[in-house]
Amino acid sequence: MSLRLGDTAPNFKAVTTIGEIDFYDYTEGSWVVLFSHPADYTPVCTTELGRTANLKAEFDKRNVKVLAVSVDPLDQHIGWINDINETQNCEVDFPLIADEDRKVSELYDMIHPNASATATVRSVFIIGPDRKIKLTLTYPASTGRNFIEIIRVIDSLQLTDNYSVATPADWKHGDDVIVVPAIPTEEIPSKFPKGHKVIKPYLRTTPQPNL
């Protein structure tokens, strides 16, 4: 099944490194990053999971739960976590799903046969508290993901969920944002009292409203 933006993220039950979980129960009320890695004991994946663990405080303050998926078995996951903690100077405490039957991988279309018939590609799903898929990314197995970009996207999604704004190219937390076209220019001062600029009638900016 191919999932698209705005689709409801499907629920599943899975065995993980923190015990058996129900995805909906575990992530209730949270934002979610669900991402797959092709195999345990591989170099790129080791750096990715270590980076994720070291960014725990950033994910926590954004109310984000992280889950990783691999088709490898649970005992292999547990052994690999020891290597990750040792080599990446971290403490992996988020669940790694042992998806031996590929149920989760197939549910989220993480196996692309032209890339590999058996291993997952580097998929990323950002899912909102409403269970809707907000972002999908797919990387080849050879390219490690940019987790600062993933956090940047979460910042943008959370901001635009709460205000009638969009974020421009290369936006980062603290930069000016774009007022959405649906708001007439004459209404901007009442909605965005920090001020605004009219660059073009369709391009209006304002300071980030939640700072």
| pLDDT at residue 120 in the model | 60
Q: From first to last of its 211 residues, what are the pLDDT tens digits of the chain?
A: 589 999 999 999 999 999 999 999 999 999 999 999 888 899 999 999 999 999 999 999 999 999 999 989 999 999 999 999 999 999 999 999 999 888 998 899 887 665 554 566 688 999 999 999 999 998 887 889 999 999 999 999 999 999 999 999 999 999 999 999 999 999 999 999 999 999 999 999 999 999 9
Please check whether residues 141 and 183 belong to one and the same domain.
Answer: no
Q: How many domains does the chain have?
A: 2
The Cα–Cα gap between 92 and 105 comes to 21
Please check whether residues 106 and 52 belong to one and the same domain.
Answer: yes
* Domain assignment of residue 22, yes or no: yes
Catalytic residue, chosen from 34, 45, 66, 150, is: 45
Please check whether residues 23 and 100 belong to one and the same domain.
Answer: yes
* Domain assignment of residue 73, yes or no: yes
Rounded to a whole number of angstroms, the CA Rg of the chain reads 19
Please check whether residues 141 and 167 belong to one and the same domain.
Answer: no
Please check whether residues 34 and 82 belong to one and the same domain.
Answer: yes
* Domain assignment of residue 154, yes or no: no
Please check whether residues 179 and 79 belong to one and the same domain.
Answer: no
| pLDDT at residue 74 in the model | 95
Please check whether residues 90 and 22 belong to one and the same domain.
Answer: yes
Please check whether residues 126 and 171 belong to one and the same domain.
Answer: no
Asked whether the beta carbons of 98 and 14 are under 8 A apart, the reply is: yes
Alpha-carbon dihedral 165, 166, 170, 172, rounded to 10 degrees: 40
* Domain assignment of residue 201, yes or no: yes
Residue 45 is a catalytic residue: yes
Nearest to 57 by CA among 15, 93, 18: 93
| Domain assignment of residue 78, given as a range | 13-145
Please check whether residues 105 and 171 belong to one and the same domain.
Answer: no
> What CATH number did the domain enclosing 46 receive?
3.40.30.10
> What CATH number did the domain enclosing 180 receive?
3.30.1020.10
Please check whether residues 167 and 140 belong to one and the same domain.
Answer: no
Question: Last residue of some domain: 95, 115, 145?
Answer: 145
Please check whether residues 82 and 40 belong to one and the same domain.
Answer: yes
**Please, what's the b/e burial string for 60-94 (b: 16 or more CB within 10 A of its CB; e: otherwise)?**
eeeebbbbbbbbbeeebbeebbeebbeebebebeb
Please check whether residues 136 and 84 belong to one and the same domain.
Answer: yes
* Domain assignment of residue 47, yes or no: yes
- What's the predicted TM-score (pTM) here? 0.92
Query: Which amino acid, 163?
Result: Y
